[in-house]
Chain A
Amino acid sequence: MSGAGQGPLELVVVGHVDHGKSTLIGRLLHDTGSLPEGRLPDLEAMCRRRGTVLEWSFVLDALQAERDQAVTIDTTRIGFRSARRRYVLIDAPGHREFLRHMIAGAASAAAALLVVDAAEGVREQTRRHAYLLHLLGIERIVVAVNKMDVAAYDQARFHAVAADLARHFEGLGIVPAAVVPVAARLGENLVSRSDAMRWHRGPTLLEALDRLPAAAAPAARPLRLPIQDVYRRDEKRVLVGRVESGTLRVGDELLFLPGGRTARVLTLEAWGRSPRVARTGDAVGLTIDQPLFVERGALAAHGAAPPTLVRRFRATLFWLSDRPLAVGGTYAMRLGTATVPVTVAAVERALDPVTLDAAPSAAVGRDDIAEVVLRAGTPVALDPHRVSPATGRFLLCEGPAVVAGGIVAAEPVVEQVDIHPVDHLLTANARAWRNGHKGAVIWLTGLSGSGKSTLAMMAEKALFARGFQVYVLDGDNVRRGLSQDLAFGPEDRAENIRRVGEVAALFADAGLVVITAFISPYRADRERARRAAGAAFHEVYLKASLEACEARDPKGLYRRARAGRIAEFTGVSAPYEVPEQPDLVLDTGMLAVEACVDQLVSYVERATALDTAVASTG
């Protein structure tokens, strides 16, 4: 019986191309009575049209091209049941071309069935797949030595193949649960015993599968809750995510990484329910007792069993891209809900998954395995894969393409610096990837009292909390040093704006987001600042009527200007030239300041987002 709480056992079927995986699955479905009515006559008709004998693989090879070329192109998942339990079979392609699909298929499996052709024996993909199962942490493995009919049901041949496989497994520390001789096409030793192989004393394939333990003992794993999103619900901020491991309860104190702040769980939120506890696999909403800034990508855990926060760490990569792995290459790493730029700091060991030979930092090409040190652009919270799979594995992406899968090493933290640093010129891209955003000049312009300083300060704080390198230039800090030699006459004010424009452009080039808060009433002055910063310049017009600004008059300046005590005051005794084509208009006359901050922050996020196709820094 399947135990309470058990879903189907997910079983990936792997092995070298043409060793008969799809045939074995098709026949197994037939022999367990799992094919829908009418499917068998359909198959017979299909095979007659092609002039072939009955091909069991057609059950799964649903695509026309697969049937015509008799090769599985893509992974298929299909359910069946034995008398004992339900299974989901994942048919993974054995052809080397489709390795990424084999890995994807295996990645979601709890157990594996490795199919080996009795006549051909252990081949390249057999070895590679065995290694990948080991790397992915799949320990429950059953082996089917197939096509025994072609090998004349020869017991000695079976033992030779089994012994060869055992030698490869030994190097990986794999102990298969069973090795079964089968003739899948004829249904021998799948569900019913084979008369031709009476010498086999072990279980049939289905018996061997049914004997696999239901699941690894649910180890008391630590709580890991990657935050997916934040919703506003009535007046509450609800954090949502999925409990990847451990247990979450109302009242728990949570540590949010990478920020490092803590808060208590006030409520767990579900529509129409108020749960008190959430278990592994549950999608949850929660509210906390502190107004922390938390967003997608944060990882929540209990303070007593936190993940590791690292900047440089060790991992094993399986490389999936046609372009070889390059030291110094920068990729977007996706781990949990976080996306962090990482750079390959060193290749410590490249491994041939077929021979299991290790070579120190040889070239790592497609389908190769490498142990590497990665440097993250911002601190990243993770775990060794053995401790917590969901926070111990990641993808490296280049634009929309996945270039590698990664497994966090058992001892991930790296203390030393690079042994072989790579020489390269720093580019704007490299700085952007280190920071997680591009540099920019956010040039606020508007009348005195339109809210420039307030908005700049609040946006700075919000952006900083989001991980931005951000700085505000305003009259207070610029006049104190950079422009302390200048007075307030028209020429000096123009020179002040020129200096601010040049400094802001340098800041942006250094990778920062700099927000400037100056009235800057003249188009010519603003155009000069735009020329200094180029494409990084963004003009933001704070639109508020003179009446509104004068009514606010926070520093009493309008009153003094009207009284004639300030000469050439913009709006009163000097003109303000409204921007003709600002990049953003914030209606500070109409909107609440919080709404303007939100608009400004989301504009900056968009305007400084990394290009998706950014490749290496070299």
Chain B
Amino acid sequence: MHSDRHIQLLESRTIWLLREAYARVRPLCLLWSVGKDSNALLWLARKAFFGRVPFPVVQLDTGLELDEVYEFRDRIAAEWKLDLRIEPCPPEPADPALPPASRAAARKTCGLQALIAREGYRGVLVGIRRDEQATRAKERVFSPRGPDGAWDVRNQPAEFWDLFETSVPEGGHLRIHPLLDWTELDIWRYTRAEGLPIVPLYFARDGKRFRSLGEKNITRPIASTAATIDEIIAELEATRVAERSGRTMDHETEDSFERLRTGGYL
């Protein structure tokens, strides 16, 4: 049900969006969670700018990522000659009322805010996709954020005909989402087609694998025997289980993810 041309056009569009962002919004940075999506985004940024990513690559670090994530990060950063900035996130979230599993996300939000305030970034490239989660389905490619990083869902700009509005709100920044149109399967097919390196946690070991990567204590692996990308693709073509079902923070209360996102989470 897919074709190589479909993937090529997705790639082209993302490259075009990255160049659009670079032409119109500076300074920029790219958030790299080291997961499969921002990995693909990083690769696409290398393609868009002929091998050299012309802006810093930032990892928001809670210190709680799985060990394989850190190993992978350091290896790729060296191989791809990235301008990698590791941004430690504050130990406690600002809102103690948040349910426990949402706290790491809230810490990342704080880390991101501090980073933007310190470095003066006007644009932050993020590898989220519409099909991941219902509130992300309402995102814009160029999403304006106020001084506190908050998402004003009810007053988003209308995006027409790829004629994007890129003015930055006073004291705020733009979240830029060049992968919004991709699906989970598209990402895996692209990863396979391009031969991209990937954190080994995605591959099944002892009957379990991670489908979505988050912090140690709040991300559960799923039951799976998929040990290669081909097998992952076959598994996803058959499954009806939501991608983020292993992410505890999405499910604590009905609107916990929406609250995180309007508060500035990715």
Q: Which residues of A contact B (CB under 8 A)?
A: 2, 4-7, 33, 35-39, 46, 49, 60, 62-65, 73-79, 81, 85-86, 100-101, 103-104, 107-108, 228-229, 231, 233, 238, 240, 242, 269-272, 281-283, 285, 296, 320, 334-335, 389-390, 393-395, 397, 399-400, 402, 405, 612
Contact = CB atoms under 8 A, between A and B. Distances in A.
B15 interface: yes
A104 B160 contact: yes
A281 B16 CA distance: 10
B130 interface: yes
Contacts of A242: 12, 16
Nearest to B6: A7
A100 B165 CA distance: 14
Contacts of B138: 62-63, 74-76
Contact of A107 (B19, B23, B161, B167): B161
B77 interface: no
Nearest to A5: B5
B135 interface: yes
B161 A393 contact: yes
The 8 closest A-B pairs by CB, nearest first: A62-B134, A104-B158, A5-B5, A36-B242, A400-B167, A100-B158, A283-B15, A283-B12
Given A37-B240, A229-B22, A283-B13, A77 B137 contact: yes
A86 B181 CA distance: 14
29 contacts: A2-B1, A2-B3, A6-B6, A7-B3, A33-B240, A37-B241, A38-B242, A46-B254, A62-B137, A65-B154, A73-B154, A74-B156, A75-B138, A76-B138, A78-B131, A103-B158, A228-B20, A231-B49, A233-B50, A242-B16, A269-B50, A271-B50, A283-B12, A283-B15, A395-B161, A400-B157, A402-B157, A402-B160, A405-B161
B62 interface: no
A76 B137 CA distance: 6
A405 B20 CA distance: 20
A7 B9 contact: yes
B97 interface: no
B47 interface: yes
Interface in B154-180: 154, 156-161, 163, 165, 167, 169
Nearest to A6: B3
B24 to A, nearest CB: 9
Nearest to B11: A283
Contacts, number: 135
Looking at B20, B48, B50, B258, the one whose CB has the most chain A CB atoms below 10 A away is B50
A62 B163 contact: no
B47 A271 contact: yes
Given A285-B50, A400-B165, A64 B183 contact: no
A32 to B, nearest CB: 11
B255 interface: yes
Nearest to B259: A64
Nearest to A45: B254
Contact of A85 (B1, B11, B157): B1
Contacts of B9: 7, 281
A75 B242 CA distance: 21
Interface of B: 1-3, 5-6, 8-13, 15-16, 19-20, 22-23, 46-51, 130-131, 134-135, 137-138, 153-154, 156-161, 163, 165, 167, 169, 183, 239-242, 245, 254-255, 258
Identify which of B1, B10, B13, B167 gathers the most chain A CB atoms within 10 Å of its CB: B1
Given A281-B9, A400-B165, 19 more contacts: A2-B1, A7-B10, A36-B240, A60-B134, A62-B137, A62-B258, A63-B138, A73-B154, A75-B138, A76-B137, A76-B138, A85-B1, A104-B160, A228-B23, A231-B49, A238-B50, A271-B46, A282-B12, A397-B165
Contacts of B15: 283
A4 B5 contact: yes
A79 B137 CA distance: 10
Given A233-B50, A242-B12, A402-B165, A73 B153 contact: yes
Given A38-B242, A78-B131, A283-B19, A63 B50 contact: no
Given A62-B258, A229-B23, A78 B137 contact: yes
A60 B242 CA distance: 15
A379 B5 CA distance: 36
Given A2-B3, A63-B135, A63-B153, A38 B20 contact: no
A219 B181 CA distance: 25
A38 B241 CA distance: 7
A537 to B, nearest CB: 28
Contact of B16 (A85, A228, A393, A405): A228
Contacts of B3: 2, 4-7
A64 B1 contact: no
A76 B240 CA distance: 20
A271 B137 contact: no
Nearest to B185: A79
A612 B131 CA distance: 35
A79 B2 CA distance: 13
Contacts of A281: 9, 12-13
Contacts of B156: 74
Contacts of B13: 281, 283
Contacts of B11: 283
A243 to B, nearest CB: 9
Contacts of A2: 1, 3
Contacts of B51: 271-272
